[in-house]
Amino acid sequence: MGNQLRNPWWIVLGSVLGLIVGNVTVLQFSASVLMKPIMAEFGWNRSMLSAAVMLGSLCSAAATPIVGRLIDRHGVKRVTLVSITLFALSIAAMALSPGVAAVFIGMFSVLGLFSAGQAPLPYAKSIAAVFDRQRGLAMGIAMTGVGLGTALVPRLAQIYVDNFGWRGAFMALGATVFVVAFPAVALLIGEPTRAGVARAAAPQLPGLEAKAVVRTPEFWVMAFVFLSIPIVANGTIVHLVPLLTDRGIPAQQAVAIFSSIGASLIVGRLVCGYLLDRFFAPFVAIAFILIPMAGVLTLLASNDPAFTTAGAVMVGLGLGAEVDLIGYLQSRYFGLRAFGQVYGYLFAVFTVGSGVGPFLMATAFDSTGSYQAALMGFVVVLALAALVMLRLPRSYPFPVQHQPTTKPNANPSPLRNAA
């Protein structure tokens, strides 16, 4: 393992493979494919299925900071391998779901709880520990795994449903998660070192303790933004297949359009990662907030399949950039000392938004028979997020070593002094 990790790009490759079957891909995007078959068998409405996804996301959010702290203490590999195994088993167990709404929601909540360790958190921590000058690009490439998963996993889910039914699809998805992610982490991720600093010395890495981070206004700015974007992006994307089929588009074509979002996720991550190493990160973030806002406006303006696809792709670009932004902004404003725990807090907020968004969309549809009200609200949410992002300081407390990222600030940052 040590020989492999001498080249840090092995960690990036392992992250790509692991995130293809990460928690967001399975917990959120596969639900869009499985939603109607489950509804047809049990006679449930969209709000009920979306409530299950929301509670699963909330359980994942609650567990994520705990996973982050465990990773900081016990290492990436040990915690992540256990998490992958439990996540895969809980997915397969959904095949045993009875037609009792409370039981189904409870099982999906357990699925969400075990999904917390198979998220971008462990991969982002590994990358941040070994990359500095190219941190944005490395994270961008690694997080393309989510985009690849968004392109591939819904198609796999549809194939599994067509051949085995939705119960068999859950079992096949669980097996897929384990077969892809477990070897990737076991062989490629490991316990990285950076500048000769081993994991045992991690408390000496530069940065703030987690309790100091949560007292800063910068943390709460990031929390608001990383709550807002997934509310809009996941709310729109999870309901995209039902939205398209409601407009008369055949299910196979709707899934194909849905899968095209995977390409936008990949492009969003790569472009965002490239730009983060070259421009002030909050300005990059604002650009990737305004793009999905334009996508939502496109969905509101037209029912044409071509325009709907374009709107969905623009929404995917925003979601594609957000996970990069969490890791990069956190590492530059708060440092690496408590990276896992702080990332856990921010990704928990992200996960809450990922669950709330689909529920809001479903509630709007069940109440009005249309997604229009929710989409209009989403435009307002993104506009507020862009404005709030402007409140971040204009220089990084923890800039790139030996290569200034931003112009020097005459006033030393209080975050840096606190470290």
DSSP string, 231-243: HHHHHHHHTHHHH
pLDDT at residue 56 greater than cutoff 80? yes
Residue 402: which region, alpha, beta or left (left: phi > 0; alpha: psi -120 to 50)?
A: left
pLDDT of residue 167: 92
Do 389 and 326 touch, CB atoms closer than 8 A? no
DSSP, res 392: S
- Give a yes or no: residue 414 inside a domain: no
Structural domains counted in the chain? 1
DSSP reduced 3-state for 335: strand
- Give a yes or no: residue 86 inside a domain: yes
- Phi then psi for residue 43, to 5 deg, are 75, 25
- Give a yes or no: residue 405 inside a domain: no
Report the sign of the C-alpha dihedral through residues 93, 94, 97, 102, in that order.
positive
pLDDT of residue 386: 93
- Give a yes or no: residue 273 inside a domain: yes
Q: What is the mean pLDDT of residues 282-301?
A: 90
pLDDT at residue 416 greater than cutoff 70? no
CATH of the domain at 115: 1.20.1250.20
Burial class of 140 by CB neighbour count within 10 A (0 to 12, 13 to 18, 19+): buried
Q: What is the distance of C-alpha 14 from the center of its chain?
A: 17
178/309: higher pLDDT? 178
Residue 234: domain span: 4-396
44/170: higher pLDDT? 170
pLDDT at residue 417 greater than cutoff 90? no
Burial class of 244 by CB neighbour count within 10 A (0 to 12, 13 to 18, 19+): buried
224/269: higher pLDDT? 224
- Give a yes or no: residue 321 inside a domain: yes
How many Å is the Cα radius of gyration of the chain? 20
Lookup: tokens for 54: 């929301």
pLDDT of residue 329: 92
Name the most confidently modeled range: 66-70, 199-203, 242-246. Answer: 66-70
By mean pLDDT, which of 47-51, 140-144, 366-370 is the weakest?
Answer: 47-51
CA-CA distance, 329 to 352, in Å (whole number)? Answer: 19
- Give a yes or no: residue 404 inside a domain: no
Question: Which of 67, 183, 207 has the alpha carbon at shortest distance from 128?
Answer: 207
Within 277-338, residue ranges assigned H as helices are 281-301, 305-334
- Give a yes or no: residue 226 inside a domain: yes
- Give a yes or no: residue 412 inside a domain: no
pLDDT at residue 117 greater than cutoff 80? yes
| 177-198 confidence digits (pLDDT tens) | 999 999 999 888 866 454 434 4
